[in-house]
Amino acid sequence: MTEHETSQRRRRRRRRVRLRRALLGSLVVGSLVLSLAGWVGFRGWQARTHLVNATGLAGALSAHLVSGDVDRAQRALAALQEQSRAARRATGDPGWRLGRQVPYAGANLSAVRQIAIAVDDLARQALPALVRVDLGGLLPHDGRLDLAGLGAISDELVEVDAAVQRTRAELAAVNGDRLLRQVRLALETLRGELDRLATMTSAAERAGRLLPPLLGADGPRRYLLVSQNLAELRATGGIFGAYAVIEANRGQVRMGAQGSGASIGMFTTPLKIPAEVRALWGELPGTYPADVNLSPHFPTAAALLREMYRRHSGESVDGVLAVDPVALSHLLAATGPVRVVGGVSLSAENAVRTLLGDTYQRVTDPAEQDAFFAAAAAAVFDVLFTRKIPPSGLVAALDRSVQERRLLFWSARPEEQRTFGDSRMAGTLPEQDTVPTVGVFLNDGSGAKLGYYLRQTADLVVGDCQSDRRRELRLRVIIRSTAPASGLSKSVLGLAMAGDPYTIRTLVSVYGPAGGAVLDAHLDGARTPVATGTERRRQVATVNVEVGPGESRTLEIALLTGPTDSGTAELWLTPTATPWTTHVVTASSCSQ
């Protein structure tokens, strides 16, 4: 054998050795990877199961807390803690930590780990105290609020809310776009339940701090309670019809003078109103009590009405509380039926129909109608403050009314008003958005009481990201009339400003996202005239929509958001006698 052949044979032998080593190494690494993947996959399946279970239990716990069922809430909490602890344990072993270093899959595993930690922290740190707190202590009993008892739970509410808000922020930071579908759905559902819980704990925490001074712990207080008449729509709900004065002193609450918005009269010298509101609505909000809430920004409306009442009566109030008949029906579900003037019994089932429909057919004199509405609102709230009612029912009714924006409050004291911030109860039109928000607000243009017969639908589609991180939004609003073609009383038909007394004229104002724009508008497929303006950094487009009995009209609006990474959007709608039907189609984040 030649030297050359010997050299070649050696080289081939070395290559075979290297190949065997490589194959052996690959086999070992592959085995380890497969083992790790199998282990992480198994633990991931466990974690997913525990998180899905925790999601359902969180929803049950939230429902039990709102309903006041402490025993079931405690059982739900115990089960939730077991599931959250198991999910945290399943995502915390060495195999999971190694898996988090793997590209793509690691990000997914890290996200699941964050979710498990957040859920477990919530279950162990915040929820036990929340279950212990008696939310009934935030409500008056026999006409009086126990201010001393309220102080005992206020500090605990602060800690509970801080823990809930912290966990909510941690979950909001988790990127769900690359998660497994089942885990992503669990995350989204859990976020929704946590949003609801955070709203409740935040409201309870504020109530714990604010109720003592609001109810006269430091001296007598007086508030104007107004009922929004949804039969004649305004942006915040309806015209401010009946009113009553609530007097509070050292926790004791009683009803004072009552009247109607019409009795306050008009002002020949209009009150001062914000320039943007004047550009949209002229001097109407500063002239007529029925028009103070043409703008959806409740603090503007409340401040105007307070000043109108002062000039009318010579007396000042410390704030304005607004409710509507639907909110009264929620309260009646807790209090039971209430008898008002004329022997009429109001219940959760008949309140809306009685107050917005039947009364106008039964009572023709406007003054008598106003007196009945004032007496009805006063009777419900008198029962609320004087009758012994299970706290759970009241908590649920108040929570629902706030969520639907049917219970609004404004304090004339700036330091108190700032505490409410941009909460739903404050009715504040925010100048900045967390996620793009589109407002659809309705104002009656008929001069009639036909709003009871309207039905509304709103669909919002989030479009693709643009180069400047803006998105186009497509809004479709359908307004339908269920009004009969004849047989309504003159007090319902009113001024018939649409010409035909049975045609409902509605001024639909669409408010674009903060920092965004309204691009164009079409009514039933044809471009339509639009009145434009701005309010609180939002472009506004107002369209006149007239709809006859049994008819419907479709309004389509194109909007542009401000710069955003969010693929979600929210709708803010005028509360109406019949709930809106809504649908929002979301998109992926602009950062993806």
The full 3-state SS of 446-514, as one line of letters, equals CCCCCHHHEEEEEEEEEEEECCCCCEEEEEEEEEEECCCCCCCCHHHHCCCCCCCCCCEEEEEEEECCC
**How is residue 517 written in tokens?**
């724009």
- Distance, in Å, from the CA atom of 234 to the CA atom of 236, rounded to the nearest integer, reads 6
The pLDDT score that the predictor gives to residue 241 is 85
- Distance, in Å, from the CA atom of 290 to the CA atom of 263, rounded to the nearest integer, reads 11
Identity of residue 276: E
The pLDDT score that the predictor gives to residue 138 is 62
DSSP-derived pairing of the beta strands 338-339 and 552-560: unpaired
CB atoms within 10 A of CB 586: 13
Query: DSSP secondary-structure letter at 167?
Result: H
Mean pLDDT of each 10-residue bin along the chain, 592 residues long: 58 52 35 35 62 77 73 88 84 67 61 78 81 69 72 76 85 73 71 76 76 85 94 96 89 85 92 97 97 98 97 96 94 90 88 91 81 81 76 77 94 91 90 94 96 97 91 97 94 90 97 96 96 97 97 98 91 97 90 64
- Distance, in Å, from the CA atom of 406 to the CA atom of 424, rounded to the nearest integer, reads 9
The pLDDT score that the predictor gives to residue 506 is 98
Q: In what order do the strands lie in the sheet containing 221-234?
A: 252-260, 237-249, 221-234, 319-323, 408-411
Identity of residue 302: A
The pLDDT score that the predictor gives to residue 320 is 97
Q: Where are the beta strands (DSSP E) in 250-293?
A: 252-260
Domains for the chain: give ranges and CATH numbers: 27-211 (1.20.58), 221-419 (3.40.630), 431-585 (2.60.40)
Cβ 167 vs Cβ 115: under 8 Å: no
Q: pTM of the entire structure?
A: 0.80
What counts of helices (H) and strands (E) characterise the chain?
Answer: 17, 18
**How is residue 340 written in tokens?**
């008002």
- Distance, in Å, from the CA atom of 202 to the CA atom of 185, rounded to the nearest integer, reads 25
- Distance, in Å, from the CA atom of 437 to the CA atom of 556, rounded to the nearest integer, reads 16
The pLDDT score that the predictor gives to residue 376 is 84
Look-up of token digits 């759905």? 185
| C-alpha distance across the termini of the chain, in Å | 65
CB atoms within 10 A of CB 525: 8
> Nearest to residue 135, comparing CAs of 119, 153, 155, 148?
153
- CA torsion 521-524-528-530 (nearest 10°) is -50
